[in-house]
Amino acid sequence: MEFSGDLFQYDTEERLNAFETSPSSERTVVFIGGLGDGFNAVPFLEPLYKSISALGWSLTQVQLSSSVDGFGTSNLQTDCRQLDTLVEYLKSKRQKKHIVFIGHSTGSQDCYWHNKNGKHNQDINGYILQAPCSDRQYLESLENYQYLVDLSTKMKNDGNGQEIMPRKAHWSPITGDRFYSLAAKFGDDDVFSTDFTDDEIKKLFEGVDRPIVWVYGEKDEYYMPSNGDPQKSIDRFMRLVPAIKEGHLIPNADHCITDKGAQQVFCKVVSDFLTVIDKA
C-alpha cells in the first residue's frame, strides 16, 4: 500500500503529524486507527481513497500520542484534545471546509468522545464508526480478566493508576488507568457494549448530536457471539441514539475488512454518506 501526498506537522509542541493524500481538496476524511495502529494500518485504506477521491475528497491519516504502542499510556481525553488541534490546523492552515472522521475499532471510541466532548465537534460533518466493538466484552473472554480488572481498580483507588500493569495484562505496556478504561464496565472506553440497558445507552450518548454512521462486519472476530445478533445490536443503538443516522452490517467483513468484496461495500457506504454531505 503506497500513497503520495503531504506529510505535515499539525502540533509542533507534541510533534504530531498527519498525512494527506489529494491535499488540494477542501474536503477531507480523517482516518483514526485503533489500538496499535499507525499509518497505513488497515487494508481498506487504498480502495477507500480511490472511492472518496472520485468525489473530490482527500484522505488524512492522523498520528496521535496513542498511535502504535502509545495507547497504553494515553487516554481518550488526550486523543480528543489532539484531534481538536488537528481540526484547527486543517481549517486554518489547509483550508478544509468539510471534515468527516472515520474511526476504526477503538478509533470509534475517539469518534464517540470527540462527538460528545470535542471543542470543535460542530466542525465535523459526520462520524463513521467502523467496527465499534466493545473492548470490555472481548476482554471478558480472556484468561485472568477478573484478576486484571480488580488489579487495575486497586491501582486507581490507591492513586497508582498511571503506573504500568504487569506484562501479562496486555501485549503492549498499559497503565492501570487505561486498562480499567478499556476493561471495566463504565470505563471511559466502554461505550459500545451490548449488555447495557436502554437507559444506560441513552445516558452514555447524551450530548452526542453530530451524525453517526455505524458499521459492523458480519465476521468481526472481536464481536463476541455472546454480544448477540449484530444486526439487532445495530437496530437497537439506532433506536436509542438519534444521532445514529445509518447502520450497516457488511457481509464477509472481518474486523479490518480484509475481504476485497467487503471493502467495496464499505467504500460505497462511505461514498454515499459523503454524497449526502455534499448535497446538504
Closest residue by Cα to residue 86 from 101, 74, 72, 76: 101
Concatenate the DSSP letters of all residues of 92-158 into one string: HTS--SEEEEEEETTHHHHHHHHHHH-TTGGG--EEEEES---HHHHHTTSTTHHHHHHHHHHHHHT
- What is the CB neighbour count within 10 angstroms for residue 146? 10
**CATH: 3.40.50.300, 3.40.640.10, 3.40.50.1820, 3.30.559.10. Which one for 6-134+193-279?**
3.40.50.1820
Where the chain has pLDDT below 50, the residues are none
Q: Which three cell numbers stand for residue 16?
A: 504530531
**pLDDT value of position 245:** 98
**pLDDT value of position 280:** 77
CA distance linking residue 109 with residue 1, whole number of Å = 26
User: Which three-class secondary structure string do you get for 68-105?
Assistant: HHHHHHCCHHHHHHHHHHHHHHHHHCCCCCEEEEEEEC
CA distance linking residue 17 with residue 232, whole number of Å = 39
**pLDDT value of position 22:** 87
CA distance linking residue 57 with residue 28, whole number of Å = 5
Q: Which three cell numbers stand for residue 136?
A: 470490555
Give the orientation angle of helix 107-117 with respect to helix 76-92, to 10 degrees: 70
51 close to 270: Cβ distance less than 8 angstroms: yes
Read off the pTM.
0.96
**Phi/psi of residue 27, each to 5°?**
-130, 130
In the chain, where are the structural domains located?
6-134+193-279, 135-189
CA distance linking residue 123 with residue 88, whole number of Å = 9
